[in-house]
Amino acid sequence: MIRNETIWVTGATSGIGKQLALMLAQQGNHVIVSGRNKQCLKEMLLNEKNISTLATDLVNDHVDWIGQQLGVITERLDRIILCAGNCLYFEMDDPDWNIMKQVMDINFHGSVKSIQAALPLLKKSQQRGHIVAISSLATTAAFPRAEAYGASKAALSYFLSSLRIDLAVEGIDVTDVKPGFIDTPLTQANNFDMPFLMSSEQAAKHILKHIVKKPYEYIFPKRLHWAFCILNAFPKRWLKMNVKKPADRNHETVNHGAD
């Protein structure tokens, strides 16, 4: 169990990040919760113990300002858990190419910015610092309409793998968490079947149980991962299963992608 640590959780105003932050605070950690939703941050501060808040927009706020604000709250960070993210689907029938940048800006650059801002404080941890970032099981295979989301998470995963090597000598570990479908506001708008859907409470429990050991990667649920790996091993069949005629694109119920 994670105890007596100072932990920054981004995307802590909703979904997986909020659950993680609440559980970590209840376990006696000092948790810095961040997001743009000031009302939600205020309520968390009022209702929970062991919480500090940092209202920040990880796309638009400057990295130096974020670092300074963290420094006002704490002298050191033991762990950061990066959950801030968004999912927008690309619609080939009515394409909005701007979403590629929009989604990259938060899912990839927002995570990079968070790490950059937190790194000086992570280096001051009295234990090995730990960076945990939530990418996605969607990176296992290519999904229709997931050009922006899948690419942003694949970029994040590669970044984390590379960073892990470069930070090892600095005494900082890096874990890439790849969840399947979790029931949160992000997935509640999905109009397709989501196999092995789990609640954000269940997901947070799984994540907290596994990140203690600081694995390089934690993928769950395993059954969904293996199913995607097998399907991905047959790319022609996978393509055939997913190809839709334009008129059918909005009516299919399966195989539209992990979150």
Ligand X SMILES: NC(=O)c1ccc[n+]([C@@H]2O[C@H](COP(=O)([O-])OP(=O)(O)OC[C@H]3O[C@@H](n4cnc5c(N)ncnc54)[C@H](OP(=O)(O)O)[C@@H]3O)[C@@H](O)[C@H]2O)c1
Is residue 37 a contact residue for ligand X (CB under 6 A)? Answer: yes
Please select the residue that binds ligand X; options are 28, 48, 50, 59, rule is CB under 6 A.
59
Nearer to ligand X, 129 or 257 (CB): 257
**7 counts as binding ligand X under rule CB under 6 A:** no
Alpha carbons 64 and 167: distance in angstroms, whole number: 20
User: In angstroms, what is the minimal distance from the CB of 229 to ligand X?
Assistant: 16
Per rule CB under 6 A, is residue 17 in the interface with ligand X?
yes
Q: Give SS3 for 229.
A: helix
Whether omega for the bond prior to residue 221 falls within 30 degrees of 0, making it cis, is: yes
The Cα 125–Cα 6 span in angstroms is 9
Site string for ligand X, 155-184 (x = CB under 6 A): ------------------------x-xx-x
Cβ proximity to ligand X, 70 vs 84, nearer residue: 84
Categorise residue 28: left if φ over 0, alpha if ψ from -120 to 50, beta otherwise.
left
Task: Give every CB contact of residue 49 below 8 A, 6+ residues apart in sequence.
Answer: 25, 26
| Of 36 and 123, CB closest to ligand X | 36
Q: Give the closest residue to 20 by CA, choosing from 36, 39, 35, 42.
A: 35
Binding site for ligand X (CB under 6 A): 11-17, 35-37, 57-59, 83-87, 106-107, 110, 134, 136, 179, 181-182, 184-187, 259
